[in-house]
Amino acid sequence: MLLYLLDLFGVAVFAASGALAGIAAKFDLLGVFVLASITAVGGGTLRDVLLNKHPIFWIRDSGPIYAIIAAVAVTLVWVHFLPIPTDTLLVADALGLALFAVSGAQVAEKAGCRGFVVILMGTLTGAGGGVMRDLLSAKVPLILRQDIYASAAIAGIAVYLVLRGTRLPATAGFVIGVVAVASIRLASIALGLRLPVFSLPH
């Protein structure tokens, strides 16, 4: 139950970030809701489609849909009366990324995928919705910029897989993997760390 509630928390956080992006892009109410939904469940939907896992998770369980509706409603009311809590959202987004990345990796692992595919599916689950959000709001996706975002997910999932290889219980591996992803992402924000950029010589 705790892991399920944490998963819904991640859905709500990503939905809020999508709603904020829609508001900033001056979308109408439907556009804000669509962008929030795609941000929240887009990565997991792509994962389930690629893994041929049916029904897709938010069709099987309507909990994520309710979390999205609640998150959009709270976001709309919040921005009308209060300033956007940017720092809090960054921390919450890092936790959402961590939860989605490692839980997505577990889904791929249970489907019998090999290590590389597990990392790919976990990263897609964590960062895929954000990519769709950025594309639909006419921005360069975050993972294509210098931010340590998808790379944090990759590193944390790799830690999870290494620990699973040592026969560590799945729950302990999950917790450590989540902490690894969140810690790397938050450290990159706090210290201003970025990936190197390569440019062609003039």
Amino acid at 155: A
- Within a domain: residue 196? no
- Within a domain: residue 199? no
- Within a domain: residue 174? yes
Q: What proportions of the chain, in percent to the nearest 5, are helix, strand and coil?
A: 75, 0, 20
Give every CB contact of residue 109 below 8 A, 6+ residues apart in sequence.
Answer: 118, 164
Reply yes or no on whether the pLDDT at 196 is more than 80.
Answer: no
C-alpha span between 147 and 194 (Å, rounded): 5
- Within a domain: residue 23? yes
CA distances from 162 to 8, 27, 97 (A): 27, 43, 20
In the chain, how many domains are there? 1
| pLDDT band of 135, cuts 50, 70, 90 | confident
Three-state DSSP state, 194: strand
CA distances from 46 to 5, 26, 157 (A): 22, 27, 18
pLDDT in tens, 17-36: 889 888 888 899 999 999 99
The whole domain housing 174 covers 2-191
Phi, psi (degrees; rounded to nearest 5) at 63: -55, -45
pLDDT in tens, 144-175: 766 788 899 999 999 999 998 888 888 888 99
DSSP for residue 144:
G
- Within a domain: residue 141? yes
pLDDT in tens, 44-85: 999 999 999 989 999 999 999 999 999 999 999 988 888 877
- Within a domain: residue 198? no
Reply yes or no on whether the pLDDT at 182 is more than 70.
Answer: yes
Q: What is the pLDDT of residue 108?
A: 94
- Within a domain: residue 155? yes
HSE of 51 in the Cβ direction (CA atoms, 13 Å)? 29
- Within a domain: residue 202? no
For 56, counting Cβ atoms within 10 Å of its Cβ (0-12 exposed, 13-18 middle, 19+ buried), the class is middle
pLDDT in tens, 2-19: 778 878 888 998 898 889
